[in-house]
A and B are shown apart, each in its own frame.
Chain A
Amino acid sequence: MLETILQNVINALQWGSFYALIALGYTLVYGVLQLINFAHGDVFMVGAYIAFFVATFLLGIAGMPGWMALALTIPLTMILTSAVGVTLERIAYRPLRRKGANRLYVVITALMCGLILEHANLAVLGASRKAFPPLITETVYNVGGVTFTNLKLGVIFTAFAVFIFLHWVVTKTRVGMAMRAISYDKFAVPLMGIPMDQIIVVTFVLGSGFAGLAGLLFAMSYPVLEPYMGALIGWKAFIAAVVGGIGDIRGAFLGGFLLGAVEILVVAVFPSSYRDLFSFSVLLIILVFKPTGLFGIAKTTKI
Chain B
Amino acid sequence: MLRRYSVPMLLILAGGLLTYCAYEEMLGLYTLSVLMFMGINIILSTSLNLVNGYMGEFSCGHAGFMCVGAYVSSILGVLLFTKDKVFGEPWLDPSLALYAFPLIILAGGAAAAVAGLLVAIPSYKTRGDYLAIITIAANYIIISLIQNIDTVGGSRGFMGMKSVISSMEDAADLPWMVIWVFIFTVFTVWVLRRYVSSTFGKGVSAICQDEVAAEIMSVNTNKIKTISFMVSSGLAGIGGALFAYVIGYVNPGSFNILKSTEVLVMVYLGGMGSLSGSVLSAVLFTVLLEALRPLQIIKWIVIPLLLVVLMQFRPEGIMGNKELGDIFPWLKRFYRFK
Complex: A in contact with B (CB within 8 Å): yes
Interface string of B295-324 (1 = CB under 8 A from A): 001111101110110011001000000000
Chain B residue at minimal CB-CB distance from A282: B137
- A119 contacts B212, C-beta separation under 8 Å: no
| Residues of the A chain whose Cβ atoms lie less than 8 Å from the Cβ of B129 | 36, 107, 242, 246
- Tell me if A's interface is mostly helix, strand, loop or mixed: helix
Interface string of A160-183 (1 = CB under 8 A from B): 000000000000000000000000
A109 vs B306: C-alpha distance in the bound complex, in angstroms? 10
- In the complex where A102-B315, A238-B133, A273-B148 touch, is A116 in contact with B140 (Cβ < 8 A)? no
Judged by a CB distance under 8 angstroms, whether A135 is at the interface is: no
Interchain nearest-CB distance for B119 vs A (Å): 10
- A274 contacts B144, C-beta separation under 8 Å: yes
| Residues of the B chain whose Cβ atoms lie less than 8 Å from the Cβ of A284 | 134, 137-138, 141
- B261 contacts A119, C-beta separation under 8 Å: no
Interchain nearest-CB distance for A298 vs B (Å): 10
- A276 contacts B140, C-beta separation under 8 Å: yes
| Residues of the A chain whose Cβ atoms lie less than 8 Å from the Cβ of B300 | 115, 118-119, 122
- B136 contacts A239, C-beta separation under 8 Å: yes
Chain B residue at minimal CB-CB distance from A118: B300
| Residues of the B chain whose Cβ atoms lie less than 8 Å from the Cβ of A106 | 311
- In the complex where A123-B298, A291-B125 touch, is A277 in contact with B148 (Cβ < 8 A)? yes
A84 vs B193: C-alpha distance in the bound complex, in angstroms? 44
- B307 contacts A303, C-beta separation under 8 Å: no
- B136 contacts A235, C-beta separation under 8 Å: yes
Judged by a CB distance under 8 angstroms, whether A150 is at the interface is: no
Interchain nearest-CB distance for B212 vs A (Å): 6
Interchain nearest-CB distance for B274 vs A (Å): 16
- B307 contacts A108, C-beta separation under 8 Å: yes
Interchain nearest-CB distance for A36 vs B (Å): 6
Contact residue among A96, A107, A281 (Cβ-Cβ distance under 8 Å from B58): A107
| Residues of the B chain whose Cβ atoms lie less than 8 Å from the Cβ of A267 | none
- In the complex where A108-B264, A119-B300 touch, is A101 in contact with B133 (Cβ < 8 A)? no
- A112 contacts B305, C-beta separation under 8 Å: yes
Number of chain A interface residues as a range: 35 or more
Q: A residues 97-145 with Cβ under 8 Å of B? A: 101-102, 104-109, 111-113, 115-116, 118-120, 122-123
Interface string of A194-221 (1 = CB under 8 A from B): 0000000000000000000000000000
| Residues of the A chain whose Cβ atoms lie less than 8 Å from the Cβ of B307 | 108-109, 112
- In the complex where A108-B264, A287-B130 touch, is A277 in contact with B145 (Cβ < 8 A)? yes
Interchain nearest-CB distance for B196 vs A (Å): 20
Judged by a CB distance under 8 angstroms, whether A283 is at the interface is: yes
| Residues of the A chain whose Cβ atoms lie less than 8 Å from the Cβ of B182 | none
- In the complex where A104-B58, A108-B311, A115-B304 touch, is A276 in contact with B144 (Cβ < 8 A)? yes
A226 vs B321: C-alpha distance in the bound complex, in angstroms? 40
Interchain nearest-CB distance for A182 vs B (Å): 17
Judged by a CB distance under 8 angstroms, whether B126 is at the interface is: yes
- A242 contacts B130, C-beta separation under 8 Å: yes
Interchain nearest-CB distance for A112 vs B (Å): 4
Judged by a CB distance under 8 angstroms, whether A224 is at the interface is: no
Judged by a CB distance under 8 angstroms, whether A95 is at the interface is: yes
| Residues of the A chain whose Cβ atoms lie less than 8 Å from the Cβ of B264 | 108, 111
- In the complex where A113-B308, A119-B301, A120-B301 touch, is A273 in contact with B147 (Cβ < 8 A)? yes
Contact residue among B122, B140, B147, B299 (Cβ-Cβ distance under 8 Å from A235): B140
- B304 contacts A112, C-beta separation under 8 Å: yes
Judged by a CB distance under 8 angstroms, whether A148 is at the interface is: no
Interchain nearest-CB distance for A37 vs B (Å): 12
- B315 contacts A101, C-beta separation under 8 Å: yes
Interchain nearest-CB distance for B156 vs A (Å): 12
A273 vs B252: C-alpha distance in the bound complex, in angstroms? 13
A292 vs B130: C-alpha distance in the bound complex, in angstroms? 8
Contact residue among B122, B138, B297, B311 (Cβ-Cβ distance under 8 Å from A122): B297
Chain B residue at minimal CB-CB distance from A303: B212
Judged by a CB distance under 8 angstroms, whether B104 is at the interface is: no
- A95 contacts B312, C-beta separation under 8 Å: yes
A112 vs B268: C-alpha distance in the bound complex, in angstroms? 12
Q: Which 10 A-B pairs have the closest CB atoms?
A: A112-B304, A277-B144, A119-B300, A115-B304, A291-B126, A280-B137, A123-B297, A105-B315, A284-B137, A105-B311
7 A-B pairs in the complex with CB atoms less than 8 angstroms apart: A101-B315, A108-B264, A109-B307, A119-B304, A239-B133, A273-B148, A280-B141
Q: Which A positions have Cβ atoms within 8 angstroms of B?
A: 36, 92, 95-96, 101-102, 104-109, 111-113, 115-116, 118-120, 122-123, 231, 235, 238-239, 242, 246, 273-274, 276-277, 280-281, 283-284, 287-288, 291-292, 301, 303
| Extra contacts besides A109-B307, A287-B126 (18): CB < 8 Å | A36-B129, A107-B132, A109-B308, A109-B312, A111-B60, A111-B304, A115-B258, A119-B297, A119-B298, A231-B257, A235-B136, A239-B136, A280-B140, A281-B141, A284-B134, A284-B138, A287-B133, A291-B125
